[in-house]
């Protein structure tokens, strides 16, 4: 089940959100009574039950907002039980003082917003002994190892248990918990209504991750990065899995650099099918693989890892996708021949993983590549490895390339008013050639300032959406062996990154917002 947590300061807005959630199919709604700013009227809140209700009234020391007396709080909880509410949440220290009554199920909980203690089994045993129908343990993850321990706990216990790690490092426990035996997992009403760190929205859990349908047979894939919350890869891969009716899910894994080895080992033990690999792991994961394609070893970076029996294989689909994009642009310019890139001047902005892959592909095809990034040292290192030229960032306008590739995050949402290559400089370059190609690897937004400037000036433009979808499609083929639904993947990405979508989301939030809250 998916439990949606709502916390509003006024009864009418709590009820409005509850009614909305019941209409869109929420399995369970947690009403946080500690959020209500006035005298709590349980009859009003619990009178018209359209979906099962969990009542919680959390003290500040437990991560809540309750600021009245403890006597009043206990009265609220006892009254909720007396009204026959479906579930009630009781902290460990009060569970023994509130007896079981009627059909209300008791969730005995413990929260720690600082850490995940070592004695998880001991904590669980204490909570289970307090006449618990469900044990809830919610702890802050300070490492991915904390999440691993929490999932292992879920596999061991006999009493129905919700064991989750809060924070971005604990995302996997919220999504995979149901498959490990949790009776339900907590979600948020919307992105601006998150009650606890790391909560995922109900829409994402139901529509994208299809968490209620995850079972022991579900094959897990994902993207490994640090940070990872901004990634749109889960949207397009999960849309493709659903389209092909595959019992597969694609999750975000935030893994700090010092835990990458541990994470890869966990992937092998847990039967993970494959990974998209991005910043900062593209280069360091190479040492953890059993084999890698020649392009990946030449680039010295991997963006895809496939787990097959005992072997971990590495690939670089950035390289393939980028070359496809550039070849398509050359086709549009009616450039012909297998050597049409030979001798062509290219300026690659950035010296990270995607820049490395593109520069490698261009050099393999004989292009004259110059690398320029804000770190001259990194540019020089990459240039030496690929036998090309390095330029200081301030000298990037000193050459007249036929192709400009932006491999930096400059222009990425939310910094949409930035560009790595000034419009007036691009205009000057266009005066010397009518066949300039501008390739921006940023995909959110698709219409970056660089893309807008290049389009306005008449350059041939390659967008980051095209490359992102192409590299994801290659990954999907490696993951599944199936022909990827590219049009669906492209549409999903564009919907997620379009300004219209942002406005619709803002309007939806505004409809449920309350200036008195």
**Does residue 10 contact residue 41 with C-beta atoms inside 8 Å?**
no
Burial of 166 from C-beta contacts in 10 A (0-12 / 13-18 / 19+):
buried
DSSP letters along 348-380, please?
A: EE--SHHHHHHHHHHHHTT-EEEEEES-HHHHH
On the question of a cis peptide bond just before residue 414, with omega within 30 degrees of 0, the verdict is yes
Judged by phi (left if over 0) then psi (alpha if -120 to 50, else beta), residue 150 lies in alpha
Choose, from 34, 62, 89, 111, the residue flagged as catalytic.
111
**Does residue 350 contact residue 390 with C-beta atoms inside 8 Å?**
no
Answer yes or no: 111 catalytic: yes
Q: How far is CA 178 from CA 162, 183, 287, 409, 429, in A?
A: 9, 7, 33, 36, 56
Answer yes or no: 265 catalytic: no
Choose, from 89, 146, 318, 453, the residue flagged as catalytic.
318
Judged by DSSP in three states, 194 sits in coil
Instruction: Find all residues with CB under 8 Å of 79, minimum gap 6, and list them.
Output: 42
Instruction: Find all residues with CB under 8 Å of 405, minimum gap 6, and list them.
Output: 322, 346, 347, 348, 349, 355, 358, 359, 439, 441
Burial 182-202 (b: 16+ CB within 10 A, else e): bbbbbbbbbeebbbbbbbbbb
**Does residue 17 contact residue 11 with C-beta atoms inside 8 Å?**
no
Cα angle 361, 367, 372 (rounded to 5 degrees) comes to 80
Tokens of residue 510, six digits: 């505004």
Choose, from 105, 206, 282, 300, the residue flagged as catalytic.
282
**Does residue 29 contact residue 52 with C-beta atoms inside 8 Å?**
yes
Choose, from 34, 105, 124, 136, the residue flagged as catalytic.
136
DSSP state of 66: B
Identify the H or E element spanning 498: none
Judged by DSSP in three states, 235 sits in helix
Burial 107-128 (b: 16+ CB within 10 A, else e): bbbbbeeeebeeebeebbebbb
Instruction: Tell me how many helices (H) and strands (E) the chain has.
Output: 19, 21
Tokens of residue 3, six digits: 């439990």
Number of neighbouring beta carbons within 10 Å of residue 50:
12
Residues with catalytic function = 111, 136, 282, 318
């Amino acid at each position: 089940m998916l439990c949606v947590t709502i916390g509003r300061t006024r009864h009418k807005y709590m009820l409005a959100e509850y009614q909305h959630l019941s209409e869109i199919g929420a399995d369970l709604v947690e009403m946080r009574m500690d959020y209500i700013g006035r005298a709590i009227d349980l009859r009003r809140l619990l009178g018209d039950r359209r979906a099962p209700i969990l009542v919680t009234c959390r003290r500040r020391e437990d991560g809540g907002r309750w600021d009245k007396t403890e006597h009043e709080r206990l009265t609220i909880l006892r009254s909720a039980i007396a009204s026959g509410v479906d579930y009630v949440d009781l902290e460990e220290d009060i569970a023994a003082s509130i007896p079981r009554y009627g059909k209300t199920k008791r969730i005995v909980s413990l929260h720690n917003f600082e850490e995940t203690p070592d004695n998880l089994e001991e904590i669980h045993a204490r909570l289970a002994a307090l006449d618990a129908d469900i044990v809830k343990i919610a702890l802050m993850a300070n490492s991915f190892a904390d999440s691993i321990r929490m999932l292992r706990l879920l596999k061991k216990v006999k009493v129905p248990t919700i064991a989750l790690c809060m924070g971005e490092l604990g995302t996997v426990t919220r999504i995979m918990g149901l498959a490990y035996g949790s009776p339900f997992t907590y979600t948020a009403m919307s992105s601006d209504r998150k009650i606890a760190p790391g909560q995922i929205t109900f829409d994402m859990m139901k529509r994208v991750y299809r968490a209620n349908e995850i079972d022991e047979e579900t094959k897990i894939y994902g993207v490994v990065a640090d940070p990872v919350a901004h990634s749109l890869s889960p949207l397009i891969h999960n849309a493709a899995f659903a389209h092909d009716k595959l019992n597969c899910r694609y999750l975000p894994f935030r893994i700090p650099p010092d835990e990458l080895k541990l994470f890869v080992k966990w992937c092998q033990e847990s039967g993970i099918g494959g990974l998209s690999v991005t910043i900062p792991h593209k280069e360091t994961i190479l040492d953890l693989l059993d084999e890698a394609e020649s392009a990946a070893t030449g680039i010295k970076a991997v963006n895809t890892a496939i787990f097959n029996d005992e072997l971990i294989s590495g690939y670089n689909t950035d390289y393939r996708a980028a070359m496809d994009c550039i070849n398509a642009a050359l086709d549009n310019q009616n450039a012909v021949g297998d050597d049409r890139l030979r001798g062509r001047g290219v300026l690659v902005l950035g010296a990270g993983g995607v820049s490395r892959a593109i520069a490698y592909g261009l050099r393999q095809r004989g292009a004259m590549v110059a690398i320029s990034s804000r770190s001259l040292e990194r540019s020089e290192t990459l240039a030496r490895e690929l036998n090309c030229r390095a330029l200081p960032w301030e000298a990037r306008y000193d050459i007249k390339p036929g192709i400009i590739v932006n491999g930096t995050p400059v222009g990425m949402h939310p910094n949409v008013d930035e560009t790595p290559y000034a419009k007036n400089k691009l205009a000057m370059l266009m005066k010397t050639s009518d066949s300039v190609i501008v390739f921006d690897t940023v995909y959110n937004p698709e219409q970056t300032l660089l893309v807008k400037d290049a389009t306005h000036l008449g350059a041939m433009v390659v967008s980051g959406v095209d490359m992102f979808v192409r590299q994801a499609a290659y990954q999907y083929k490696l993951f599944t062996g199936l022909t990827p639904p590219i049009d669906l993947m492209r549409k999903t990405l564009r919907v997620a990154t379009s300004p219209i979508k942002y406005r619709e989301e803002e309007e939806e939030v505004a409809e449920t917002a309350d200036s008195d809250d």
